[in-house]
Structure 1
């Protein structure tokens, strides 16, 4: 009986949150960010990540949270902040697993295939410039979004306005798609290099 009493308030809380997000999404998400992000940042930093890693994980979790809430599939048995921290912990664990699957020894072997910089012709770009090449191939809009968010650390609200997106969510989704395109291009280049 105690368990059912504790679980009964959850659906109205999710419904109430859904209405808050529909009525004033920016204010509601800002409030969630202010309450939750410091906990997420601390968790990520304690496990070898950076503040930027924490921002990326939190943003991904917020997109999942928002979509589930507005879509009506979110069932809360805890506070929204606790739910978001749990999602972030899971996402960070997945990211750590992904990073561990790409050991540094593979990168060192790939590096050994290239001649030393003293032997390299002057026309070849430095490795750091190679990443810029991939970014330049993404297209002007993706370049602008990624640089605005990651380099200039502009808020998504500002990015959405500057790029004529109707909502912050649209800008978030586009940023994620651009980042995935960049990751895919780099992975393909690494796989191609490893194969040859």
Structure 2
């Protein structure tokens, strides 16, 4: 049977948490009385119900820490304070997600550029032999991956049957890293460097 959350005034709630002995009833009250307000805010700002739950948990932990350190000034109600903390946490989370998406876009764009450059160069028959020498210098994982793709013209799906990668995305990322290494070797090779100028 679920226990009904005890009722607390803001003053009693802060006092109970400050004591730090058995704060579980106080925490249940926080969830019972305040989680819906925070959830409504997070969801209204594009978050999911799981985001709302996670953010509220973080806000409660922050509130408890502040109270137990004697830093809660009671200038605002507990509800207002929790929502304010949740807002800050959520906006920081959105910034992180946006930065992550931007990094991913840059990564994908750079991958396309590197791959196009290498594809064009390997397509030149005169340089294929020299590229094979450079591929050998990359080591087996990269050599095998790039040979399958550029020399044997396998699709990414077909390559998964020959290489130990979990999925196509993991293999694409590995291919990009291999191409970056190959590009570095190309810029140091006098014969190829002369050809691509």
In the superposition, the TM-score normalised over structure 1's length comes to 0.51
Alignment partners' CA distance in 1, 2:168 and 2:28: 38
SS in 2 for 1:94: helix
Alignment partners' CA distance in 1, 2:98 and 2:59: 21
Q: Which residue of 1 aligns with 2:105?
A: 105
- RMSD between aligned alpha carbons? 3.5
TM-aligned CA deviation for residue 52 of structure 1: 1.1
Q: Any gaps of 5 or more consecutive residues in structure 2?
A: 1-9, 116-144, 150-154, 182-197
Which digits, 9 at most, give the CA deviation of each residue in 1:5-53, with x for residues without a partner?
xxxxxxxx56x43431235311101111111111111111111111111
Q: Which residue of 1 aligns with 2:88?
A: 90
Q: Which residue of 2 aligns with 1:125?
A: 166
Asked if the contact 1:41/1:54 (under 8 Å) is kept, the reply is yes
Q: 2:13 aligns with which of 14, 17, 20?
A: 17
Structure scoring higher RCO (CA < 8 A, sep ≥ 6) equals: 1
Counting matched residue pairs gives 123
Alignment partners' CA distance in 2, 1:128 and 1:60: 32
In the superposition, the TM-score normalised over structure 2's length comes to 0.51
Asked if the contact 1:68/1:74 (under 8 Å) is kept, the reply is yes
Alignment partners' CA distance in 2, 1:110 and 1:120: 22
Alignment partners' CA distance in 2, 1:63 and 1:100: 25
Q: Which has the larger radius of gyration?
A: 2
Q: Relative to 1, partners in 2 of residues 1:105 and 1:129: Cα closer, same or farther, differing over 3 Å?
A: closer
Q: Relative to 1, partners in 2 of residues 1:31 and 1:111: Cα closer, same or farther, differing over 3 Å?
A: farther
TM-aligned CA deviation for residue 128 of structure 1: 8.7
